[in-house]
Amino acid sequence: MQLTSKQILGALQVLTWIAFIGLCIETGAILITTSISLFFHPEAAADLYLGLDLSALLHYSRWYYVQVTSLIIALYALKAYMVFHLIQILQQINLVHPFSQTIAHLISRLSRIAIGTAVLSFIANGTVDWLQKHVVELPNLNEHIGDGAAYLFFAGIVYILAQVFNRGMEIQSENELTV
């Protein structure tokens, strides 16, 4: 049995919805446990999410703790927002006339969000590195912060794709006018 493009797009849409829901759950879990550790039970900082232990940072400084957890929460939220835009692209794509203003706009927006995520990831990595050198020993946060270079590379690829879509839109409209 051969899969059609429509079936593949449908499967991708289901997978992106699963990823989006997972990222929203991760964002919410870290947000809630951070709030609990700040306002009710400071010992909750020992296991924020999936074994993330920032209790030493909370005991050293609430300000640094809020700063690091805010960066982590913002990065998870931006990842979820990128996946949400991917869902919108998959819902809007038309295989008969794939080049549309809506798709080009969504792809351009996705590249801008990815650039913002890369910048925030670089800031978060710099903040964590500084804290580890000057303030307190922290666990490895790469799983939660990510690599800014990867987001930057992704943004570049998506930006190129947006330019291809803009050009494809021009060619598609020229062909419609000449027919």
Tell me the pLDDT tens digit for each residue of 113-147.
Answer: 999 999 999 999 888 888 888 878 877 777 777 77
State what percent of residues in the chain have pLDDT above 70: 97
DSSP-derived letter for residue 159 is H
How confident is the model at residue 135, as a pLDDT? 78
Residue pair 93/103 in contact (Cβ under 8 Å)? The answer is yes
How confident is the model at residue 173, as a pLDDT? 75
Number of compact structural domains in the chain: 1
| Domain residue limits at 55 | 5-178
How confident is the model at residue 179, as a pLDDT? 47
Report the sign of the C-alpha dihedral through residues 80, 82, 88, 89, in that order: negative
- Assess whether pLDDT exceeds 50 at residue 165: yes
Cβ count near 5 (within 10 Å):
9
Give residue-wise pLDDT tens across range 10-59. Answer: 888 999 999 999 999 999 999 999 898 888 888 878 777 777 888 888 88
The position carrying tokens 């920032």 is 54
Residue pair 72/30 in contact (Cβ under 8 Å)? The answer is yes
Report CA dihedral (109, 25, 117, 112) to the nearest 10 degrees: 0
State what percent of residues in the chain have pLDDT above 90: 33
Residue pair 87/21 in contact (Cβ under 8 Å)? The answer is no
pTM (predicted TM-score):
0.85
pLDDT category at 178 given cuts 50, 70, 90 is low
CA angle 25, 26, 32 (to 5 degrees): 85
- Over residues 67-77, the mean pLDDT reads 92
3-class secondary structure for 96-149?
CCCCCHHHHHHHHHHHHHHHHHHHHHHHHHHHHHHHHHHCCCCCCCHHHHCCHH
